[in-house]
A and B are shown apart, each in its own frame.
Chain A
Amino acid sequence: MRHLLAIDDLSRDDLEEILDLTSSMVEVSGRSIPKVPALRGRTVVSLFYEDSTRTRLSFDSAAKRLSADTMSFAVSSSSISKGESIRDTVETIEAMGMDAIVVRHGYSGVPAQIARWTQASVVNAGDGWHQHPTQALLDSYTIRDHLGDLEGRRIAIVGDVVHSRVARSNIEAFNRLGASVVLVAPPTLLPSALSSWPVEVTEDFDSVIPELDVCYLLRIQRERASEALVPSLREYTARFGLTAARARRLHSKALIMHPGPMNRGVEIAGDVAEQDNAVVAEQVANGVAVRMAVLFLLLGPGRAGAASQSVFEPVGIEEI
């Protein structure tokens, strides 16, 4: 694995390898000193064209727990705000000898473009409506952690699919790991051409609730109502919100998930978000471990076709 740009690039074996390694990283993260020298001497730079404190911090702590040096290219205070092109910025970073570039951009495809311009490994930390692969990995890990396995699991992804990079990556990941995915949304919040997607589609949230192992809620942005994609947030909540009444009809072991930040009272009722089976905080915690696994695979001794043994029992992960 040279870059992590999209879940599409990963096979089921690749996904399971990352999730298995994530377990080791969770163990590392639980130690009294949660830091190993695996990536000592490596440098990871984050290049966030779109604000995301959560994801940036998560990648930053993942890199630091592996002893990588980390840097952040602050978009607002740098040459970028003076009109420097993405390519020139990347070539500047390249000239400084960075090993990995973690990219977040509001437009789809920018990480793929950057990967053409650099020798460094590129990690997509979210691009436009396209992909957010580490989110899909941490979500898959969280489900696996609770349910043992995704094979044969029934997962609903509810809400604004068309504008969601989380949906696009999770559909791919869940499907590859053997789950059956149903999208719950009005046609205005779905891509118009879906026939090649490995999903079922329904507008009837209530009908699928009892059969779910996982109920995954997407964030709905408030401006969608003004774009005539939904008549109002009130109507959205009535049809597609996980209200307390709907939550009661979920199987008791079904997981409630959300990529955050949540709009309480819109896509998820405030009380429902506090239920034991709502694992939103765990998703965040697992995010650090998943990103450690990804960075380790890209930059650590396990990269570039090394024997898989070194991945499952990672060389360099030891107490310091």
Chain B
Amino acid sequence: MSEPVQLPLRPGGDEDVDLVLRGGTVIDSSGERRADVVIRGRDVVAVGEDLSGNDVIDVSGCIVAPGLVDLHTHLRQPGKEEAETIESGSRAAALGGYTAVLAMPNTTPAIDCAAVVREVLELGRSACCDVHTSGAITVDRAGDRLAPLAEMAALGVKLFTDDGAGVQDDLLMRRAMEYGRGLGVTLAQHCEVASLSAGTCMHEGEWSARLGLPGQPAEAEELMVMRDIALGRLTGARLHFLHMSTAGSVALIAAARASGMDLTAEAAPHHFTLTDACCADYDATFKVHPPLRGEADVAAISRALADNTISAIATDHAPHCPEDKELPFEQAPPGMLGLEYALALAITQLVDGPASMSLADVLARLSWQPAAIARMERHGRPVAPGSPANLCVIDPHHTWTIDDSGGASRSRNVPYVGREVRGRVRHTVCEGVVTVRNGEAQQ
């Protein structure tokens, strides 16, 4: 057993400069108000009217909010650096308004032991946002043996998942929950029953029938949600459900939460934006796990975000090289980019769409609620003197059209090309350092 290690914080902002975000409207977990914000070093030092300093950014007409927090980011490093690196992925995150991301463990090698955790965190120290990592539940995410959760927890890992696959074995999952409860960590599941989803590449429905593609039913997800709720009740573990995609899953989560269980869930932008009809041209850009579902599911996910049954929007940012996405649909790897589009999609779909959420509620799902789920204490905090300066500045009026460049990502698997969206990140500040200024990454 290794000793608990306190990894140093990433570099903070300049102690000799008072950076002022002037003229904006602050929205955070405590409400909404007109205020200037002064940042020095790595902290917010003043919030109020008519504040001054030696580096003033005019943010009039914009929203100043706690930086966004992504619970579900595939950074691909180590192992698949041609698709993404911690550097490129964190730059995409910063451009999307994120000050922290939680890396998923399905790298090569998997993030399943202290050595790989340490490598990712060390690479993350010079990244454009805070890089936290999850750890695998099982060794090599193979679903056979429990990974050394405690040695990873000692390095600050607070959430464990075999994301990319669910832990299939009921007994092993029970043990992971019991052991994890003892460590005080969260068990997060990619809910997919492998025997129902093996060989499938999209949602099972009218479209898969017509396209001649093997589909997986919504029940492949829902059965594992059901099982984990039952095991969670048995073990008392703290659970988080990754990328919920079906109306049935939403109903299960709502019922479990209503019964008082300590569990949370997230949804990805594509699951409240796109349907399985997008697969009609066999463009594997639209292939993702869990798959794009039908319109009723998309509406249910939107409603669940609005009523907070699902309390976090998580990107499931999953870069893949163009040549991999040009394989036959069934062979292509699943996943799509999300970090630079999540905020604008959330505003466009959830604020302007039928769910009619407030901007403050959308920011709650993107920032302080996911920060609480991942227990990232320096993120999602109210914008107040003494808080860490992890902030983003959003122009809510800016409408723009998503292009196929892929932004700062090394990959270009963007499923939203040509879509007009509202809301754009103008500036991002991470630990007092301006990582994005006027829409340009600073590093």
Q: Using a CB–CB distance below 8 Å, which chain A residues touch chain B?
A: 85-87, 105, 107-110, 112-113, 127-131, 162, 165, 168, 191-197
Say yes or no: A113-B326 contact (C-beta < 8 A), given A192-B204, A196-B206.
yes
Instruction: Say whether B282 contacts A109, CB under 8 Å.
Output: yes
Looking at the assembled complex, report how far the CB atom of A189 sits from the nearest CB atom of chain B, in whole angstroms: 13
Q: Given A105-B328, A108-B329, A113-B328, do A129 and B213 touch, yes or no (CB 8 Å)?
A: yes
The B254-293 residues at the A interface (CB cut-off 8 A) are 281-283
**In the bound complex, what is the Cα–Cα distance between A193 and B208 (angstroms)?**
8
Interface residues of B in 319-340 (CB under 8 A from A): 323, 326-331
User: Shortest beta-carbon distance, A204 to chain B, in Å?
Assistant: 22
Q: Which residue of A lies closest to B205 (CB)?
A: A193
> Which 4 pairs between the two chains have the least Cβ-Cβ distance?
A109-B282, A130-B212, A191-B209, A129-B212
A285–B215 CA distance with the chains assembled, in angstroms = 36
Interface residues on B, range: 20 to 34
Q: B211 interface residue, CB < 8 Å from A?
A: yes
- Looking at chain B's contact residues, the main secondary structure is loop
In the assembled complex, the CB of A199 is this many whole angstroms from the nearest CB of chain B, namely: 11
Task: Give the A-binding residues of B (Cβ under 8 A).
Answer: 204-206, 208-215, 217, 281-283, 323, 326-331
Contact among A108, A192, A197 for B212, CB-based, below 8 A: A108
A168 and B213 alpha carbons, distance in the complex (Å): 12
Contacts A85-B323, A113-B326, A192-B217; A107 near B209 (Cβ below 8 A): no
Closest to B281 in A: A112
Other than the given A109-B213, A112-B281, 12 more pairs (CB < 8 A) read A86-B326, A107-B331, A108-B213, A108-B282, A108-B330, A109-B212, A128-B330, A165-B212, A168-B210, A168-B212, A192-B215, A193-B206
Q: Secondary structure at chain A's binding surface: helix, strand, loop or mixed?
A: loop
Closest residue of B by beta carbon distance from A196: B206
Best-buried of B205, B213, B282, B331 by chain A (most CB within 10 Å): B282
B residues near A113, Cβ cutoff 8 Å: 282-283, 326, 328-329
Known contacts: A127-B212, A131-B212. The answer to whether A107 contacts B329 by CB under 8 A is yes
Give the shortest distance, in Å, between A227 (CB) and chain B (any CB). Answer: 10
Q: For the complex, what is the distance from the CA of A192 to the CA of B213, rounded to whole Å?
A: 12
Asked whether B326 lies within 8 Å of A87 as measured between CB atoms, the reply is yes
Chain A residue numbers with a CB within 8 Å of B282 are 108-110, 112-113
In the bound complex, residues from chain B placing their C-beta under 8 Å from that of A162 are 209
* Of listed B208, B281, B328, B330, residue having the most chain A CB within 10 A: B328
Q: Which residues of B contact A129 (CB under 8 A)?
A: 212-214
Across the interface, do B212 and A195 meet the contact criterion of CB distance under 8 Å? Answer: no
Q: Which residues of A sit under 8 angstroms from B208, Cβ to Cβ?
A: 191, 193
Residues of B within 8 A of A165 (CB): 212
CA distance A192 to B208 in the complex (A): 9
What is the CA–CA distance of A128 and B281 in the complex, to the nearest angstrom?
Answer: 15
Contact check, B211 vs A108: say whether CB atoms are below 8 A apart.
Answer: yes
Query: Which of B206, B212, B283, B326 sits near A128, CB closer than 8 Å?
Result: B212
Please tell me if the beta carbons of B326 and A194 are within 8 angstroms of each other in the complex: no
